[in-house]
Amino acid sequence: MFGLPLLYLELAIGQRLRKGSIGVWTSISPLLGGVGMASMIVSFCVSLFYNTIIAWVLWYFFHSFQDPLPWSQCPLNENSTGYNEECEKSTPVNYFWYRNTLNITPDIETSGSLQWWLVVCLATAWSVVYICFIRGIESMGKVMYVTATFPYLVLTIFLIRGLTLEGATDGLLYLFTPDWNTLMNPQVWLDAATQIFFSLSVAFGGLISFASYNEEKNNCERDALIVGIINSATSLYASISVFSILGFKATNAYKSCLNQNILTLTNDFEIPDKDITLENYDEWITKLNSTYPDAIASLRECELQTFLDQTASGTGLAFIAFTEAVIEMPGSQVWSILFFVMLFTLGLSSMFGNMEGVITPLKDLNVVPKWIPQEVTSGILCLVSFLVALIFTQGSGNYWVEVFNGYVGSVPLLVIAFFEIIAVSYIYGIRNFSDDLEYMNGSRPNIFWKACWLVISPVMLLTVFVAYVILQIQTHPTYPTWNPEYVSNSPVLLYFMRL
């Protein structure tokens, strides 16, 4: 109710005024220049940590050619007398991510040194962005034919493979089963709004810049509807692919948990091997619980729902949950290569919009003289971005990514979107805007669009923002940390530190 209306609004206003985010809003009112400036700053900040994620993807891609995959087993200790203790306390997948890749520090206050392998990957990522963006929209359009279509090919391959795996049905049931209690949490609605902003690229300013290149009488309403439908269909398509594989991962973890309990029961009660199986496990538990309740109570609790709930999110979904699922699949190297190539192309596509959301507003501000070639402007921006983003290659870099992702790429977008809708609907005027749409599309907007722009969208955005502020006042912000000295029953050595 605010994603699609905002998408339509940005396409229309950019196409009509033929300017970037700052130029558009200052044309409506000089007092609204801050909206465009905010979009530019958010686009720049998001580009910094987004390309860092692409650097991580490159690191995993390079290691995907090893057999076996380096995150499939723990490395030996220094004396080669056993496995690394830190890895054994966690899992090989977590160890490779937190130690081999990030070499993470205990908290955000301990910066650590620059990790040279991440610096190299980050430099490579920014070099690729520069090459693709070297001549702006002219060169970028050709690259996007590949970056926009290749992920569909990989998703289709993963979908076919995922649906044939054991546990895929459980993963899909988990995906489509609503949890109504979760909907009462304002953070969930903020996350949903953030996801819409990122998937549609609204409130970043890049969409306005792209729209300024459209023909003056292009039907932007049709474009908004097509993009919105394709975006929703793609999200559903990708979710089915991902959750079928996560269901497979959870099922394997569930069976592993049961097998550990079976081994414990077999040893403790001297039960003949193979008497207890996965099929008759519940019968044995019921039987032994009547006479040895304490022994049964000490067993590890094995619930498939629990393992599904433990599925990681954000960067953890790609670098922990999915990589752990991949090593269980035959031909794991091939699946890993395909997965990280897909992530690379997806990340690259997102970077184009973010970069356009920075360069075009800079031109609107006349910060960049017109005689400077596009190649030089793009090069300077990429170089400056690379130097600033070196903070993410420190030992504490992942913590800074979490902070940027949690605060730069969420609430500011909510505020920007709110003021964009208010600016067009009430300052520029819905009647003037309707006249512009009639000029471009050949028809005035219907009652649905007007209701969204005038009431529904701003009220929803304001409600989510107020609820989030109230939630933040009542709680303390936290971030997950890796602490090898802390050992719990969970295989993931994480606890939450207050900011």
Q: Provide the annotated binding site.
A: 199, 231, 346, 350
Residue 207, both tokens: 């969409």
What span, in angstroms and rounded, lies between the C-alpha atoms of 322 and 243?
10
In 3D space, the residue among 457, 465, 498, 488 whose CA is nearest the CA of residue 9 turns out to be 457
Sign of the torsion formed by the C-alpha atoms of 323, 328, 333 and 339? negative
DSSP letter string over 390-441? GGGGBTTHHHHHHHIIIIISSHHHHHHHHHHHHIIIIIIIHHHHHHHHHHHH
Counted residue by residue, the chain has a size of 499
What span, in angstroms and rounded, lies between the C-alpha atoms of 404 and 390?
14
In 3D space, the residue among 308, 318, 307, 305 whose CA is nearest the CA of residue 158 turns out to be 318
In 3D space, the residue among 418, 428, 400 whose CA is nearest the CA of residue 468 turns out to be 418
Please tell me the number of Cα atoms within 13 Å of 314 on its side-chain side.
15
Annotated binding site for Na(+): 199, 231, 346, 350
> Between helices 137-163 and 116-133, what is the axis angle to 10°?
120
Contact yes or no for 51/385 (Cβ under 8 A): yes
